[in-house]
Amino acid sequence: MTNAAISDNFSLLSKLMDIHGENSFKAKSYAIAAFTVEKLPDELSVFPQKKIFSIKGIGESAGQKIVEQLESGTLKILEDYIQKTPEGIIEMLQKIKGLGPKKISTIWKEMNIESIGELLYACNENRLTLYKGFGEKTQESVKKSIEFYLNTLGSYLYAQIETYALAFTNSLKLYFKDYKLELTGEFKRQFSVIEQLEWITTLSVEQLKNFFTTNGYVVEVETNNSIAFKGNENVILRFYIATEEVFYPTLFKHNCSEIFLNKWIVEFGFDETKNYSSEEAIFSKNNIDFIPAYKREDAKIIELAKQKNVPKDIQEKDIAAIIHSHSKWSDGSNTLEEMANAAIAKGLQYLVISDHSKTAFYANGLQVERVLAQHQEIDELNKKLAPFKIFKSIESDILNDGSLDYDEDILKQFDLVIASIHSNLSMTEDKAMMRLITAIENPYTTILGHLTGRLLLSRNGYPVNHQKIIDACAANNVVIELNAHPRRLDIDWTFINAALEKNVLISINPDAHSIDGYDDCKYGVLAAQKTLLTKQRNLSSFSLQQFEAFLLTQKNRIHR
């Protein structure tokens, strides 16, 4: 059993004990154990048993339960609590933002509500406000959280479903090797969130039905030329049927947005019955550059293709550096030297370390003396690792008034500053815009981090006027981050072309909290490929020499 699983078990146990009104000190001890285990650098499975009991934050009781989990893969006391807790109560605890154990205890024991559906109904009837701790704002927040959760069931991040989609497609192709079958739709178009997986195939509805129902799948929808299934994975699998002769026109149609397809029909017409040897042949027949499926969103791309002027897609190999990363100095999992060596091993030219700033107490943010100590370590590592270079940065919290998290005498000691909002996210657009614009206008801000603060399928971002932010970044030479973490992908790709039109640089940054996080650059690249972003306009594609020249320009801006 992994540390993450053991930590999750202790965390859930602590919360369930609180819900059931058990001894608060006991519950807290398991919460501390959860935190301690989560932060351990090594897996508990490799520890000698005696060493487990000597870990600070792990008492005798928690130590015994760690051993129990390592040996049996289960935690009996947790199973007992789960058995005597309604499933809906556990679902509230795990899925609904803003509901802690105390509030859930009130919902269950005083309101006699045991499911999310009942709770939403109670919100609509304004019943929550009758109970202590539930004001109108809390009730509205709970309602929105429930609605958001219910709307996301069966939806997946691209990164969550990628491996399954590709492996499942390969398996189908091997099994039905005499038939054509190609992915289409949202996955092929590299959407950030996937609602369903779709294929074009020459298989018949009957063949598909026999195969899937035999393997335990349920038919969701069936028509003459399509069929959809769902299995234990809770993924909708939809197949569109095409004959051999019209396979590629059908694939083309499903690989386009409605806006793109309508523009194409106006420009070139579209005969769905014509036989083509490939999608590329459809483009060459009309004397137009090939446009990949992931770029067939905005109709404007057709004009560029007609002029043979579609810019070359940015590729994962074009990422020259890791910009925006966290080390053990704040809430990262690896040391600064480990982060640097991992970047070197990937063939990258430099690393921008941007740990959290002092206000981010929840993330071990750096007080001033720790900033100076980190800078000393960076200087030492740069001597050791040259020509590779680590740049001194910080992810500065944007405070409530829009100011950055340090005085000027500290800010000027960083090579660059990434400014991000992390607190008080429930804002009006006016409040969010005030904070963001003020931060953008700060001469020490180099990059605006994760613009809206959204977490895909978990949290809506705060409301912003993207165009005004882009205009402010253009006026102040501030770069906009495309945060590549698959749960963020923020700035949303739909606004990148508007930024490029204003000559604003984008920076594909992984927001890496571990070495493994570097790989998230891939998902930022996939999102960026839907736009006109090239490596020349992406800051993290700059060579070391180009990046140093960029920073010099930024420093000159500050000292004007």
**Residue-range domain boundaries for the chain:** 1-85, 96-153, 157-306, 316-558
- Does the pLDDT at position 323 exceed 90? yes
Q: 131: buried, middle or exposed (CB in 10 Å: 19+, 13-18, 0-12)?
A: middle
The lowest-confidence range among 151-165, 220-234, 294-308, 480-494 is: 151-165
What's the token pair of residue 452? 């809206």
User: Which of residues 129 and 449 earns the better pLDDT score?
Assistant: 449
- Does the pLDDT at position 266 exceed 90? yes
CA–CA dist 479, 449 (Å, integer): 9
CA–CA dist 507, 500 (Å, integer): 12
Calculate ∠ Cα 44-48-49, nearest 5°.
85
Q: How many Cβ atoms from other residues are within 10 Å of residue 533's Cβ?
A: 26
CA–CA dist 323, 518 (Å, integer): 10
What's the token pair of residue 244? 């051999």
CA–CA dist 310, 283 (Å, integer): 13
Q: What is the pLDDT of residue 479?
A: 98
pLDDT classification of 125: cutoffs 50, 70, 90: low
CA–CA dist 324, 492 (Å, integer): 18
Q: What is the pLDDT of residue 459?
A: 76
- Tracing tokens 């709770």 back to the chain, one arrives at 119
- Percentage of residues of the chain with pLDDT beyond 90: 74
- Does the pLDDT at position 541 exceed 90? yes
What's the token pair of residue 235? 């993924």
Q: Under a CB-based contact definition with an 8 Å cutoff, are residues 152 and 95 in contact?
A: no
- Does the pLDDT at position 362 exceed 70? no
CA dihedral 289, 293, 294, 295 (to 10 degrees): 30
CA–CA dist 228, 196 (Å, integer): 9
CA–CA dist 14, 256 (Å, integer): 49
Per DSSP, the three-state class of 335 is coil
pLDDT classification of 20: cutoffs 50, 70, 90: very high
- Does the pLDDT at position 122 exceed 80? no
pLDDT tens digits, one per residue of 368-391 = 999 999 999 999 999 999 999 999
The hierarchical CATH code for the domain 157-306 is: 3.30.460.10
Chain centroid to Cα 91, Å, comes to: 22
What's the token pair of residue 535? 């490596």
Closest by CA position to 508, among listed 313, 323, 311: 323
316: left (phi over 0), alpha (psi -120 to 50) or beta: alpha
Per DSSP, the three-state class of 341 is helix
- Does the pLDDT at position 414 exceed 90? yes
CA–CA dist 419, 397 (Å, integer): 6
CA dihedral 333, 369, 406, 463 (to 10 degrees): 20
**Rounded mean pLDDT, 436-456:** 95
The lowest-confidence range among 43-52, 375-384, 402-411 is: 43-52
**Rounded mean pLDDT, 238-266:** 96
Q: What is the pLDDT of residue 336?
A: 97
Closest by CA position to 490, among listed 434, 447, 442, 536: 447
Q: What is the 3-state secondary structure (H, E, C) of 351-373?
A: EEECCEECCCHHHCCECHHHHHH
- Tracing tokens 């019955």 back to the chain, one arrives at 273
What's the token pair of residue 116? 């999310």
Phi, psi for residue 142 in degrees, rounded to 5 = -60, -45
Q: Under a CB-based contact definition with an 8 Å cutoff, are residues 356 and 326 in contact?
A: yes
The pTM of the full predicted model, rounded to 2 decimals, is: 0.78
- Continuous segment of H or E residues that includes residue 62: helix 60-72
Per DSSP, the three-state class of 70 is helix
The residues that bridge with 240 in the sheet, in sequence order, are 200, 226
Could you confirm whether domain 316-558 is CATH 3.20.20.140? yes
Q: Select from 1.10.3720.10, 3.40.50.300, 1.10.150.110, 1.20.1560.10 the CATH code of 1-85.
A: 1.10.150.110
Whole-number average pLDDT of the chain:
93
Q: What is the pLDDT of residue 46?
A: 87
**Rounded mean pLDDT, 291-303:** 96
CA–CA dist 168, 185 (Å, integer): 16
What's the token pair of residue 506? 């984008």
Verify cis geometry, omega within 30 degrees of 0, for the bond prior to 387.
yes
CA–CA dist 316, 497 (Å, integer): 19
Buried b (16+ CB within 10 A) or exposed e, 437-462: bbbbebbbbbbbbbbbbbbbbeeebb
The residues that bridge with 448 in the sheet, in sequence order, are 419, 480
pLDDT classification of 124: cutoffs 50, 70, 90: low
